[in-house]
Amino acid sequence: MILQNRKVAWIITAMLIVVGLFLGSFLSYHQMRGRVMRVFESEMEPLLTEQTQLFHNMQTIYNLNADNNVEMITEWAPDIAYRAGELQRRAESLSLSESDARFMHNFVIDIIELDLILRQANYNQQAQEFNALTQSGLGFLTLQSTRQLPIFE
């Protein structure tokens, strides 16, 4: 009988171990990534959305007062705090009303504040740990081909 053969039994055992290792690593990886992504969605996404909306408001004020409009950015960018400062400097050359100038100034302050909060968020540490784990490998199985999670520095 085929199952009474020791050689076949060892091959089947080795195959089950290898499949179990790959399956366990795969499931563990997705569970860890899901945990970090839930933190991103609850902590980071609202801040990124707010920062983008503030910058959009700045662009709207600028475009209403300038002869040459700036291209409207509707998605978050890593350099959004820098762009906000540059836009405020450009707006200073315009004849903004007192309220528009105050809004522009407050928007920049809020964007920079949000940028600082993003850089100090708990998510960054978790993402760094996850990225380090996927780069170090698990035994002979490395996950270097996986997409790294973004870190806000």
Per domain, the residue ranges of the chain are: 2-136
Please report the pLDDT score of residue 46 as a whole number. 94
DSSP 55-113: HHHHHHHHHHH-SSPPPPP-S--TTHHHHHHHHHHHHTTS---HHHHHHHHHHHHHHHH
pLDDT for 24 equals 82
Convert the pLDDT of each residue in 110-131 to its tens digit. Answer: 999 999 999 999 999 999 988 8
Q: For position 3, what pLDDT does the model report?
A: 57
pLDDT at 57 over 50: yes
Of 77 and 100, which is predicted with more confidence? 100
CA distance 48 to 54: 10
CB 122 within 8 A of CB 87: no
> What is the model's pLDDT at position 31?
87
Taking residues 39-51, what's their average pLDDT?
93
